Homo-oligomer: A and B are copies of this chain.
């Protein structure tokens, strides 16, 4: 995992937008990583950053995959993953 990867969870989207903008002050590449329902928020974050905060940022790469996780009853279940790499 690269150092400047931001994990998108269930907080308000602007929390993550701020985190990405802050990372862009230090790095030229920032990766957003999300699972399951947070995937939509990761895409929102990338789009808000590009449209409103770091207009020169581009989507360099988007990868989707599947991870096996254990739910609350210790049953194995699959969850989708997205990784969006932004570069400026």
Residue ranges of A at the interface with B (Cβ–Cβ < 8 Å)? 36-40, 43-44, 46-47, 51, 59, 62-66, 78, 80, 82, 84
Contacts and interface: CB of A to CB of B under 8 A. Distances in A.
Contact of A66 (B51, B63, B65, B82): B51
Q: How many copies does the complex hold?
A: 2
Contacts of A64: 43, 46-47, 59, 62, 84
Nearest to A40: B39
Given A36-B40, A40-B37, A80-B40, A47 B66 contact: yes
Nearest to A66: B47
Contact of A40 (B40, B62, B63, B66): B40
21 contacts: A36-B40, A38-B40, A39-B40, A39-B43, A40-B40, A40-B80, A43-B64, A43-B80, A43-B82, A46-B64, A47-B64, A47-B65, A47-B66, A47-B78, A47-B80, A51-B66, A51-B78, A59-B64, A62-B62, A62-B63, A62-B64
